[in-house]
Amino acid sequence: MKTLIALLLALCTVTAFAADAPKPLRALLICGGCCHDYAGQKKVLSEGIAARANVEWTIVQEDAPAGGDAKDHRISIYEKPGWWKGYDVVLHNECFGAVADNAFIEGIAAAHKAGVPAVMLHCSSHSYRTGTTDEWRMCVGITSRSHEKNRDLLVKVINAEHPVMKGFPAEWKDPADELYKNEKVWPTATPLAQAYGEDTKQDHVCIWVNTYGKARVFTTTLGHSTATMSTPEYLDLVTRGLLWACDKLSDDGTPKAGYGPGGK
């Protein structure tokens, strides 16, 4: 009888622990457009981040129809009311710079203004730049409309105490990438790292965090190639940025309990 009671108590403890264990973050990855290997990048990002954090992915890749101009295509999920509902974070990795419909652009940004955390990678910060509304630019945190030639970049940390950069190398070489030019750093943005522009002869912020409405936003303009995104430094960086955006990153730069790999 004592053995049976002990087994029942142990079972109840395990069941209670399982019920209290943090659920994986529900992440929506939206990708597509011109100029990049989105088929390869979505695999690298989803698998690389899932190996580092307790994240489950829904992936939407949508390119322009055959014969269309990829730069002005409107991703169809954004046309649906409440497209962001059911997700804890949205990772944007898209390249549609010629979309000029302000209402459409503001409809995307509205999800984050209402509080849905966001991660913006590379060309996402150049997307929707044709529109006259500033909502997407304010959401991203830095206005940029052009970049320098593809080359290796020396990335230097300028805010080593921020949790996203805690313990990160003071500088590292980012292979075969594009340095996006900063036109305006919005006052809600906090720069974390930068690289030197050979054309402009000045530094440009390439990693930062931002507050937009009720949401935390992490952005890096790094990540042109799949090879770049495959590096441990890049995957570590984006994983930390995603966890920070969801308030699941500890001050020392490690995942909060339950949000490390395998729910650790």
- 141: Cα separation from own chain's centroid: 13
Residues with Cβ within 8 Å of residue 210, at least 6 apart in sequence: 139, 140, 141, 186, 188, 189, 190, 216, 217, 218, 219
Return the domain boundaries, the chain: 23-263
Per residue in 213-257, pLDDT (tens digit) is 999 999 999 999 999 999 999 999 999 999 999 999 999 999 999
> Contact at 8 Å (CB) between 57 and 72?
no
Measured CA to CA, the distance from residue 105 to residue 99 in angstroms comes to 8
Per residue in 16-53, pLDDT (tens digit) is 344 567 899 999 999 999 999 999 999 999 999 999 99
Classify strands 189-197 and 202-212 as parallel, antiparallel or unpaired.
antiparallel
Measured CA to CA, the distance from residue 231 to residue 164 in angstroms comes to 17
User: The whole model's pTM is what?
Assistant: 0.92
Residue 15 confidence (pLDDT) above 70 = no
What percent of the chain has a predicted confidence (pLDDT) above 70? 91
Residue 12 confidence (pLDDT) above 90 = no
Q: What pLDDT was estimated at residue 7? A: 46
Measured CA to CA, the distance from residue 20 to residue 34 in angstroms comes to 43
CATH fold group of domain 23-263: Rossmann fold (3.40.50)
Residue 126 confidence (pLDDT) above 70 = yes
Measured CA to CA, the distance from residue 10 to residue 3 in angstroms comes to 10
Rounded to 5°, the CA angle 170-216-256 comes to 70
Q: What pLDDT was estimated at residue 21? A: 76
Per residue in 145-177, pLDDT (tens digit) is 999 999 999 999 999 999 999 999 999 999 999
Q: What pLDDT was estimated at residue 70? A: 79
Measure the CA dihedral 102/107/109/111, to 10°: 170
Mean pLDDT computed over 192-202: 97
3 state SS for 161-179:
CCCCCCCCCCEEEEEEECC
